[in-house]
Structure 1
């Protein structure tokens, strides 16, 4: 019996691709680099934290540690003011979360997005205090797929990891769930492919948020 459903944020609960792409392209143009014209390219670029996103967006010849550091700070500053321009929860997400809470199931978020963005964004779109635990990427905790964040969340929820499911849209998310001993549930509405989810060990793949209500 699952007692908690813990979610990835970007590509799972919220569609944030347009704002991410817009802020990366603004950073690139400010630096005199060519922007990424095809927004779908960002589907493969996100998921490993801001530094990796910036590294992937930069021209290959410019990917020095110092350039990545400086451009990450510039991207972070742009994103700080524009993460809510076009970002919205996916259709059916708010209703699904409300149903889980009505059933007494704990809900949480674990994201590779920086903690300083993960908390305010989650609270902006879903309400302050709505989730039982919210964990973004922090320097002292290895990012997904390392399982440390899962252990931390389960401890805060006072549950075993085996009593928790992790829901995400990427192979990283499914590998994270598997390494932690959580049930890994993939969503097909996010940034990555169903094939990627299967290859990385998804226990189940759902097509609608409401499908999650039938699992427990």
Structure 2
């Protein structure tokens, strides 16, 4: 397992070096970014944020560096392979499209033998919470990440940006009860009340059409 992760880091270094040399704007995200910020090692692919308008150029640069392109069925990312290691070039993560402002929030950090822009911990956690649903709801995987990054996370911002997800609300409440998340008291209940109020307005009697 350690050898696999070392190979993943080497792939990350190759990706970072190629994109930096070609001056393609990007930021690391996903598991490799969590690890760069002090979280657990990732066993998955390398995730990279790029703007939609830079996606094709990023693929071209990485192919020129010896990787091979792949055609994904999804429309929100492109893919390349560095040998057997998958690199996802994501231009529209779960919350919103990648913009210049998204990339500007990244911080330069040491990743393997290079420095790379790494997405902020708050953004990483928001993305992970927003993909939770009844089929993907493994808190045991996410709690170690929250614990490792807790001092870097703006918990109020996470709660605000994930307020529409009951799964995120449940995990944040658990993290709060475990002493991991510093949430304002009753923030989860307030988010629930806000959603309930909005639902009541939407489901209320239709507006009169009288002239």
Q: Please state which band the TM-score falls in when normalised by the shorter chain.
A: under 0.3
- TM (normalized to structure 2)? 0.28
Q: Which has the higher contact order (CA 8 A, sep 6+)?
A: 1
- TM (normalized to structure 1)? 0.27
